A and B are shown apart, each in its own frame.
Chain A
Amino acid sequence: MDLFEYQGKQYFAKFGIPVSAGDIADTVDQAVEVAERVGYPVVVKAQVRVGGRGKAGGIKLANNADEVRLHAGNILGMDIKGHVVRRLWIEVASDIKEEYYASFTLDRSAKKHLGMLSAQGGVDIEEVAAKAPDAIARIHVDPVDGLTAQVCREWVRAAKLNPQVEDEAVAFLLKLYDCYIQGDCSLAEVNPLIVTPQGRVHALDSKVSLDEAAAYRHPEWADFEGMASLDERERAAEEKGLQYVGLSGTVGIIANGAGLAMSTVDIVNQVGGAPANFLDIGGGANADRMVDALTVINDDPNVRVVFINIFGGITRCDEVANGIVAALSRLAKTAPLVVRLDGTNAEQGRAILNANTSERLIMIPDMLTAAKKAVEMAGA
């Protein structure tokens, strides 16, 4: 789950990480009210989960109420790379002496946490990595040892941060690591991490992703979910406990197992079609699950055909076939189904489907042929 900047800053603040005083605003009047409260000059910042907000005109300095009105009015409703701005973050403007970069993430290959720190912040870190790779100091943190103050200090020196703020930078990074670990972040990134003329170090931006698997031990995350970036279809699927990812095509997809579902999306694309979704129905593909899956898919107005790709393992193909037939009888309306069954008791399963073939149900035993048929029907 990706947080908005303001949510990330609120999360940082819980771990004692210094951020600028500010608040959210959903209207121009609210923006002015927040600005009056925190004191001018302020920065008006678009809250969208996409980079490049500044270049797009989504971040503006305002010295008085009139300027807040002007900028807030312009930014609310603005479309930034397909993300419409619905909320602003208004914060006290900071004097900036230096801009750094800091982040923690999991290095899957090393199986350790990866810290990245650079004295060249405030710009796209990918560009820094490409142009001046030595400008980024990387450390691997063994989760068993954690990040010690000693290691952190050496890291700050390796990154060639201003020696005058070394103590502040070490304290900041230890808190950021604490937030990353205790806060179950998959990414905790600060860019820019600024130094003020007074020698204070603080987070001017935040990019935080949370590990959904850890939600059970973070009841406070419920506050973030209202603004999550799920589309309507993804929200409906989540409520039914289905693994669903919305795509933009016309072929609805149901498969059992994440791997087979990915494969099915691939094969539909490979034969010239466009999948409407990824959906993993899970192990026991019974009638109830099938009704839930078909309901979510049929609610998508783009869907013209549904390709059901099932491998029968412990749940046998004849059970799955009976589930599909039962589901069809319970659904008044559905896009036509192209079904491919393979695996345990495949012959029996196919026989059941063949006995129930109609304009709403077509059985094709081979995955490639079935994909071609589904794509052909979606085009018709």
Chain B
Amino acid sequence: MAVFVDDNTRVVVQGLTGKQGQFYGLRNRAYGTKVVAGTNPKKAGENVEGIPIYASVREAVTQEGANTAFVIVPSAVAAASILEAAEGGVSLIICVTEHIPAHDQARVYNVLKRNYPHVRLVGPNCAGILSPGKANIGFTPTEVAMPGGPVGIVSRSGTLAYQALYELTQSGIGQTTCVGIGGDPVPGTSFVDVLAAFQADDETQAIVMIGEIGGTAEEEAAEFIKSNVTKPVVAYIAGVTAPPGKKMGHAGAIISGGKGTAKAKMDALTAVGALVAQNPTEIGGLVKQALGR
């Protein structure tokens, strides 16, 4: 099993005709992902290396049976693209676009919750989702992953998730799914959502959770772990020594008013029994320990 994306995932890429969209869309297809359509109202009827372009997500859903949208468009149009995907009938939207204004993120989140409660948004500003051997949507380098489980990874940061994939693979430990939830202030999918999915997934036996400074999502995850997660959790939090009040690369990675520190997050996770790594290269060893290998 895997969570969120697998062999049944049929992807429409919003932005396939752009440079980035084409690069990653084709790369994802080459991995075996069913990339069935792209959208661009001005280029409807054309194709990108055999992938048909439609005017709208709705047409891609109707014509090609797309069930997942991969949003890789400029930030100024990303919010509208996400809403178009929800309206168009997909059940999963993965948005990698960075620099969407925070107010737009908050509005989109609440519109989806109210009008499309069964649609899951992952991101924005995320690396995407990889279920090794099944499907990859987004930026994740499949070269460093290994199919078959038993570890699920969830991370705000892209590169730190890749590092975790790599270390596990080097140790001969495979992964079920690696979910990037993104570094922005209002992520569509939270740690809690992904932890719940991994807890329910038979093949996932241990969970790696990679957080960073800013907000309280990790503390909320710790609360959830306490009463809902029986599988071992290995955690790492970046930004222990980050200065307060500075955005550390990601829009959401900021300590404001003394809140959102790495220390508070590590303490909360330690208190509920998670194994907390002091640096990202300790993740592999701790997972082995958790799995009793």
- Chain A residues within CB distance 8 Å of chain B: 106, 108-109, 111-113, 126, 142-144, 181, 184, 186, 211, 213-214, 216-217, 243, 245, 247, 255-263, 265-267, 269-270, 275, 278, 280, 283, 311-314, 342-344, 366-368
Contacts and interface: CB of A to CB of B under 8 A. Distances in A.
A55 B214 CA distance: 30
Contacts of A262: 157, 212-213, 238-239, 242, 248-249, 253
Contact of B257 (A126, A181, A184): A126
A311 B186 contact: no
A258 B279 contact: no
Sorting the interface of chain B by its residue count into under 10, 10 to 19, 20 to 34 or 35 or more gives 35 or more
A106 B186 contact: yes
Contacts of A267: 279
A142 B103 CA distance: 11
B110 A259 contact: no
A217 B101 CA distance: 10
A98 B103 CA distance: 32
Given A111-B110, A186-B102, A311-B162, A344 B141 contact: yes
Interface of B: 27, 75-76, 99-104, 106-107, 109-111, 114, 139-141, 143-144, 155-163, 166, 183, 185-186, 210, 212-217, 220, 238-243, 246-253, 257, 262, 278-281
Nearest to B163: A311
Contact of B103 (A143, A311, A313, A368): A143
A8 B220 CA distance: 34
Contacts of A126: 257
B186 A266 contact: no
Given A211-B103, A259-B156, A313-B159, A266 B240 contact: yes
Nearest to B27: A314
Contacts of B279: 263, 266-267, 270, 367-368
A52 B216 CA distance: 28
Contacts of B216: 108-109
Contact of B249 (A217, A243, A343): A243
A342 B243 contact: no
A108 B103 CA distance: 11
Contacts of B280: 260, 263, 367
A213 B100 CA distance: 6
B106 A112 contact: yes
B183 A258 contact: yes
Contacts of B99: 213
Nearest to B110: A144
B56 to A, nearest CB: 23
A175 B141 CA distance: 48
A144 B107 contact: yes
A143 B99 CA distance: 19
B248 A258 contact: yes
A30 B220 CA distance: 53
A144 B111 contact: yes
Contact of A311 (B75, B166, B213): B166
Contacts of B243: 245, 247
Given A262-B248, A368-B279, A342 B166 contact: yes
Given A144-B114, A265-B241, A343-B141, A259 B102 contact: no
